[in-house]
Amino acid sequence: MTRLRTLAAALLLSVALAAPVCAQQPTPESNPAAVLFWAPADRERAFRQMETVMPHATVSRGETPVRALPVGEPIALDPSAYMAAEKVAGVLVIQDGRIRLERYGLGIDERDHWVSFSMTKSLTSTLVGTALKSGAIGSLEDPVTLYLPALAGGGYDGVTVRQLLTMTSGVRWNEDYFDPTSDVARFLQEPARPGEDPVVTYMGRLPRAAEPGTRWNYSTGETNLVGSLIAAAEGKPLAQLLSERIWSRAGMEADAYWALDQGGREMGGCCVSATLRDWGRIGLMALEDGWLDGERIVPDDWFAQAVVKQAETGDPGEGYGFQWWTKDDGIYAAYGIFGQTIRVDPERGLIIVLLSAWPRAVGQPHSTAREAFFRQVEAAVDAAPQP
């Protein structure tokens, strides 16, 4: 299974504002390729304190009581070898709302935050669902220019919110992380001008490459554009919306932090930092169909659409939903570079969360090792079901 293109959901979103590494600690200087060249020790340290490396907005957990995650029957699986080989900072296995495995590495514990990279995309997607329920977004079939009129007259004319959400806009985009002239290498260098959203400015210049709805093309810029659309429709910043709609209602243990772009806005496609258990609670939110604090926060059919294949990605048995990666067997996941994972298996009632600092941002050997670890977890769960 190839993830070189698909797992790197927000590489430039994480690096364009990130810092080069010095011998002691990353510093907040501008270097677009910095994260790729951090020494492993610096990466492991920075991933748990990204809010000190680049500007972030706080996502408040509010005053809601913490959602308990009782300890269930432990599974007979020692993750130590996998964690050591793949530089894993946290493993969490939840089944039927109970923790069956929880382990920490790389010097972190349950109080530490860890950066999500592209797992954030699935949060941004869910905020689209909450905006539909609030009425701020009228329909997924609305043209994106209704909410972002600065896009009118360009490649996004006639593109719907649904097509933006599923990355089937047809707008040209180059996601080559190793090409300094690619869109993903340049769009966060767009100057921030008064009264403009630099992401909208850059994306609005891109031409049409295919008819809307006819071709899937992975585009980090489009997820940032989804974030811009939500913020414009709701009239609130994304961090505030995430707090009001999800974080303050899901029984989170701690505040989260959301990285800001060059215009001072939250990056829709990247870099919310949160604790391991709170990432598990995001998995539970999806598994439980968006029910939080006694209310479904999204339309009744939202997750029925969001976590099933809406677009073909070219990988057999897999697809792309509303910013979730899907499998034809019903499993779905949020992924981020360097091994970040929330994997939801509805049939087993199972959630697997991995927080990692892989030696490389992406790579087939790491993806293969992760899939093998999933099989080990499934086998252990199947062998010893909870009472």
Give the whole-angstrom CA distance, residue 269 versus residue 227.
8
**SS3 track for 75-121:** CCCCCHHHHHHHCEEEEEEEECCEEEEEEECCCCCCCCEEECHHHHH
* Per-residue pLDDT at 35: 65
Structure token digits, residue 340:
């970040």
Q: How far is 353 from 356, CA to CA, in rounded Å?
A: 10
Spatial contact of 188 and 17, defined as CB atoms under 8 Å apart: yes
pTM here? 0.91
* In 28-111, alpha helices (H): 34-37, 40-46, 80-86
Which stretches within 47-173 are classed as H helix?
80-86, 120-134, 161-165
Whether 5 is in a domain gets the answer: no
Which CATH number covers residue 188? 3.40.710.10
Low-confidence spans in the chain with pLDDT less than 70? 1-37, 177-178
pLDDT at 27: 40
The predicted pLDDT at position 139 comes to: 98
Domain span at 199: 11-383
pLDDT single digits (tens) 174-222? 887 667 788 877 887 788 888 888 899 999 999 999 999 999 999 989 9
**Identity at 233, one-letter amino acid code:** A
Report if residue 1 sits inside a domain.
no
% of the chain exceeding 70 in pLDDT: 90
Q: Residue 5's pLDDT is what?
A: 33
Q: Is residue 49 part of a domain?
A: yes
pLDDT at 193: 86
Instruction: Retrieve residue 69's tokens.
Output: 């995650």
Length of the chain as a residue count:
387
Structural domains counted in the chain: 1
Cα first-last separation, the chain: 35
